[in-house]
A and B are shown apart, each in its own frame.
Chain A
Amino acid sequence: MISNFIPGLIMIITSFLLPTIPQYFRHPAMLLSVGLSALSLFNGYGTFLEWDILGLNLILYQSDSLTLPFAIIFHIAAILVIIFSWHSKNLMEHMATLAYAGSAIGALHAGDFFSLFIWWEATALTSVFIVFAGNTNAAKDAAMRYLIIQVSSGVLLLIGACLMLYKTGNHNLAVLDLKTNFGIFIFIAFGIKAAFPLLNGWLQDSYPESSVTGTVALSAFTTKLAIYALARTFPGTDSLIWIGAIMTAFPVFFAVIENDLRRVLSFSLNNQLGFMVVGIGIGTELSLNGTVAHAFVHIIYKALLFMSMGAVLYRAGTTKASELGGLYKYMPFTTIFCIIGAMSISAFPLFSGFVAKSLIMSSLGGMGMVLIYFILFFASAGVLEHSGIKIPYFAFFAHERKNKVKEAPINMLIAMGIAAFLCIAIGVFPKYLYQILPYTVDYQPYTLDHVISQLQLLVFAIIAFLFLVKFKLYPSEIRSTVLNSDWFYRKMLPGIGKPLFKKIGILTESLYKNLGLSFKQVLSKSYKFSNLSYIKVTTPSFAGTILISILFIMLVIVLV
């Protein structure tokens, strides 16, 4: 019976039961539900559950060699998040986190686009509560914007799925291309969640506004679900190579000047997704293995880095570089764990990033893609800059700290310790990771050529950092906002739209006056609306209106 139960569903059911469970038993219950869901990992490959409804055959639970590694790492991430948040008593956040992780795991096992759509929206609707739980005004605003963007992605996916069914009679997950209009809709839907260039604003907008523990949960699932979906439906799509390359290179410049270290990590997340997207674009067995391996190790070290910054936020009250420094004395374990995460993401040999990134670099090298290869090599220096050096340096070193703070709580240290252990274990024994990858590929990451080449790059990039600090060329930390692609809908559109709407309002009113009618008479039942000062266009609702209008227009164009 359990073998037919959709993985992740037990976690969602448990999340709804959490309010009935005493506080003391909530975390054990959450862990138990993840454990029960993880039993599905032993079911093997195949289709386990289908549902015929409204003449459609929905594949609710299927598993294959691409699903498995993602399912394993999503379960590991869920466990890490639960341990990390053990001290917290925020019920809403716990419920949202467990349901969110469960939805993401459910999504991995969907076998058709309609089932995927349901889970796709479920991850959006559950995770928005995690952003809400940041519990500041900024977090609430960011949550609204996040919801609009995420739901829009789902709507595009639904449009794509409907069109596909209409045109081909098929709605199962399959390899698509960009020559069909439904392919384009689905591609953009995935692209929004994968934070493609210019579609990435939501990520850096919302993740840093979440709570100490919330950001860790957010960093693991949404974007990697999108990577999984892209790997399943668009492998070998050439444009992904360039999209990915741009994603690796551009965020590094933003990360240099960003002051909030959790936002720096969000830019870094974007850059890491770029490597995975390039791997999907190449589309060979080696490169797809690279993408999956990279997603796997990335979830662990990115969670580790977000956990270390969560611990800093929890103890020091901020993650702004301009107000931190010198924490190594008070938070030695957190410092060590953060450095392990930093060395992993920077791809130092013997750390997990090295054994995963090598697969993608080798597939690029093997194909002779010289330009993309060096863009990614360049971006590797960028990763070292913002995640390898900037994060640990400004949080834990930089300058002496005056106020004492405590080391992170024990549950946080345990979660960070497990993640740090995995980072090193995978780096030292990559064969266990390689065994669970979708394709059997005999690959040896530790060749002398490769190790020396990577070490030269990293060590001399560190020397460049020391050189820039020595000569005071390294940019100082400044409290500021760095403009990102969310500027278009947070400032530019309202900037154009608000005066425009006001103008239209005034014009309409004068039109009515000229016709001898007062606005009041026409709308006598809703007097309030006749007074223009009552019409307040808020940014989220305005952005929402624009987005829905665009989606509607696109739908009309396609149907016509």
Chain B
Amino acid sequence: MKKNDLKSMGKSFTKYILIIGALLILLDFTFHRHEYFSFAEIYGFPAFFGFVSFVFIVMLGKWLRKFLMRKEDYYDQ
């Protein structure tokens, strides 16, 4: 029972976020979004930028663990 709580919350959260995401992209087609830089006015540019940046940050961070991660008591040794 308990496990289902978090899982079902996660599922409905995912559902709503995807719906909002789709609406935001659709909205982009209904008006001309003015930006400071013309290439950012391409349909869905901020969405694409947000998605790619996020994945890049997480993946690069994960890779950096190889160089930056030490044991918890590293400074006590």
Contact = CB atoms under 8 A, between A and B. Distances in A.
Interface of A: 252-257, 326, 329, 362, 364-366, 368, 370, 373-374, 377-378, 381-382, 384-385, 397, 399-400, 448-449, 452-468, 473-475, 478-483, 490-491
Given A370-B37, A385-B54, A400-B5, A456 B24 contact: yes
Contacts of B45: 456
Given A400-B5, A461-B50, A373 B36 contact: yes
A483 B66 CA distance: 11
Interface of B: 2-3, 5-6, 9-10, 14, 17-18, 20-21, 24-25, 27-28, 31, 33-37, 40, 44-55, 57-62, 64-65, 67-75
B48 to A, nearest CB: 7
The binding surface of chain B is classed by DSSP as helix
Nearest to A478: B69
A452 B58 CA distance: 24
A481 B71 contact: yes
A461 B44 contact: no
B31 A448 contact: yes
A381 B36 contact: no
Nearest to B14: A466
Q: Which of B17, B36, B52, B57 has the most CB of A within 10 A?
A: B57
A253 B60 contact: yes
Contact of B69 (A385, A397, A481): A481
Nearest to A378: B53
Contacts of A448: 31, 33
A498 B21 CA distance: 57
A468 B49 contact: no
A479 B59 CA distance: 19
Contacts of A481: 69-75
Contacts of B50: 381, 456-461, 464
Contacts of A473: 58-59
A140 B15 CA distance: 48
B58 A491 contact: no
Contacts of B35: 365, 449, 453
A256 B44 contact: no
A108 B33 CA distance: 41
A365 B69 contact: no
